[in-house]
Amino acid sequence: MRSVPPKLRLVALMVLTVAYAFAESDTDRATLLYNHAEYSAAIGILSHIRNPDLELLGQCYFMEGDFRRAADSLEKAAVLNPDSSMIQTWLGRAWGRRAETAFPLLAARYAAKTRQAFEKAVQLDPTSAAALGDLFDFYLDAPAIMGGGIDKAATLLPRMTRYDPVEADLAQARIEEAQKRFEPAEQSLQRAMEKAPRDVIPILLLAQFLARRGRVDESEKAFQRAATIAPNSPRVLFARADSYLRAKRHIDQARDLLKRYLAAKNLTPDDPPRWEAINLLKKAEGA
């Protein structure tokens, strides 16, 4: 894999600078910064606006890892725009992250808020791939006592198949792996790759699956294929480093990949936020 060439980084910076200069409002400037993963700078602008875009502010706080402020902003945004599926989706994400780090009693309360937000997001827009995907994740990962369960996750597959066939195959693979049906899981991942041959996400998920199964050589080939398709993709760097650390191998290479990820100038909101990479790097440096 190659890191982003210096010339491309310079071009990206110049494009951002020019676009920022021509942005018509502070909200436009904050949106531009958000789209280039400059969340702290976007928060700085939005915090000085009398009536800021609360949805955007909540998204920025979320991507900065400040989930309490993210939930607060998104709750206010939901009051102002109660019919927005996307606000509910982001609100569910914020409560979900808060549930992960809260004490048990609070975690149960926050998990309930997570489920309610995701279910409302799907109710408001049954065609939303983001809402369906997040609700699926909740059902699959949460215990039954908190409203989760594999059976509930499986009920979403027909709708996911209709609106996002690739995501449906990836979801099917997760269910099958959770059921220890590893051969069908691999077949589902392969189907997703066939449907979207230029999309690196199914390839990365296959690479990580193969690594978990101890099929190291095949996993490496899949990572290399993803790097060939998207040689400048930060997500490839992150996924490979994460896989190495989970397998407790190639620790030095994982450190290098994460440092390159943090130095990348082409991050977007679709990539893992920097704080996740920083946490992984700390783990790698302590290994």
CB atoms within 10 A of CB 195: 13
pLDDT value for 181: 98
pLDDT value for 286: 87
Question: Encoding tokens for residue 192?
Answer: 């997703």
Domain boundaries, the chain: 71-163
pTM for the full model? 0.89
Please enumerate in sequence order all residues whose Cβ is within 8 A of that of 179, keeping only pairs 6 or more positions apart, or say none. Answer: 150
Name the DSSP letter for residue 49: S
CA distance 174 to 12: 36
134 contacts 121 by C-beta, under 8 angstroms: yes
Q: Which of 46, 43, 45, 73 is nearest to 58 (CA)?
A: 73
Question: Encoding tokens for residue 258?
Answer: 């994460």
Question: Encoding tokens for residue 5?
Answer: 């060439």
Report the number of secondary-structure helices (H) and strands (E) in the chain.
17, 0
pLDDT value for 3: 37
CA distance 285 to 127: 43
Which stretches of the chain are DSSP H helices?
6-22, 26-35, 39-46, 54-63, 67-80, 85-101, 104-124, 129-141, 150-154, 157-163, 165-178, 182-195, 200-212, 216-229, 234-247, 251-263, 274-285
Residue with tokens 């792996």: 177
Reduce the DSSP state of residue 24 to 3 states and report it: coil
Name the DSSP letter for residue 146: G
Tell the CATH superfamily of the 71-163 domain: Tetratricopeptide repeat domain (1.25.40.10)
pLDDT value for 125: 98
Please enumerate in sequence order all residues whose Cβ is within 8 A of that of 21, keeping only pairs 6 or more positions apart, or say none. Answer: none
Positions of the chain with pLDDT lower than 70, given as ranges: 1-23, 287
CA distance 15 to 10: 9
Q: Could you read off the pLDDT of 72-115 as tens digits, one per residue?
A: 999 999 999 999 999 999 999 999 999 998 999 899 999 999 99
